[in-house]
Amino acid sequence: MSPADAVAGTSWLRSLRRVPNPRVRLVCFPHAGGAASFFRAWPQWLAADIEVLAVCYPGREDRIGEPCARDMTELAGPLTDAVAPLVTGPTAFFGHSMGASVAYEVARRLADSGRPGPDTLLVSGRAAPHRLRASELGSQPDDVLLSDVRRRGGPLAAALDIPDLLDLVLPSIRADYRLVDSYAAQATLRPLPLSLTAYYGEDDVDNPAESVLAWAEVSPERFAARAFPGGHFFLVPHAADVVRDIDGRLGRLAAAR
């Protein structure tokens, strides 16, 4: 995405749809190796009064020249400070795969610091924090790492067959895999004052249903889950259905405030 999409005052956020006085603000967190543009199509399936923002991690798109974050603290710390001023009304965080962990950590840091946080957390294709397991793929040779990216599918898999694109995305893929592994070794569960919905693929072998449903322990009384056909990137072919489900939940969120 271009710098013109950047939210004023921060390099961390891109505006996918600006809305004066939004009914709800949705902040989207990309997967490992992913970018803000992954969510570009989402506004078409959301009510017109929902503002949509996407997180831009360092080391990709217009931040390609910046070093990738080395661990979750380096990523979620400054991102929390960037997101905090936007939590001025009904707010939702959505994250897929690694993005679900990042969204959770940002929500956790906001709560721990006494700042307003999201009303709801929407996680996708990701085990609960206390159920994560390190893969150690971030330290493996390129061919082993890329084989796993291809196995999982998704938009990055197609880019791996284009040499120029591979050169651009490989550093962020490897950095994110390393970040995910280091996070899995120290992640803990903390109940949060929000509602939580978990989405998952019925055939996602890396995140089986029981590990995703364990997110209920973050918000025991306000938890929901929904399964879709497919594997880890079920979100790609079912994007419209997932986002329409999110739209309904955000509408109920705004009505309850």
Residues with catalytic function: 97
Angle at 6 between CA 159 and CA 34, to 5 degrees: 25
CB-neighbour burial class of residue 39 (10 A; exposed 0-12, middle 13-18, buried 19+): buried
Q: How far apart are CA 67 and CA 64, in angstroms?
A: 8
Q: How far apart are CA 234 and CA 47, in angstroms?
A: 23
Handedness of CA 54, 229, 105, 194 (dihedral sign): positive
Angle at 135 between CA 129 and CA 137, to 5 degrees: 135
Q: What length does the chain have?
A: 257
Q: How far apart are CA 106 and CA 87, in angstroms?
A: 12
- Where do the DSSP E strands lie in the chain? 13-17, 24-29, 50-55, 91-96, 120-124, 195-201, 223-228
Angle at 158 between CA 2 and CA 226, to 5 degrees: 85
Tokens of 50: 């929902």
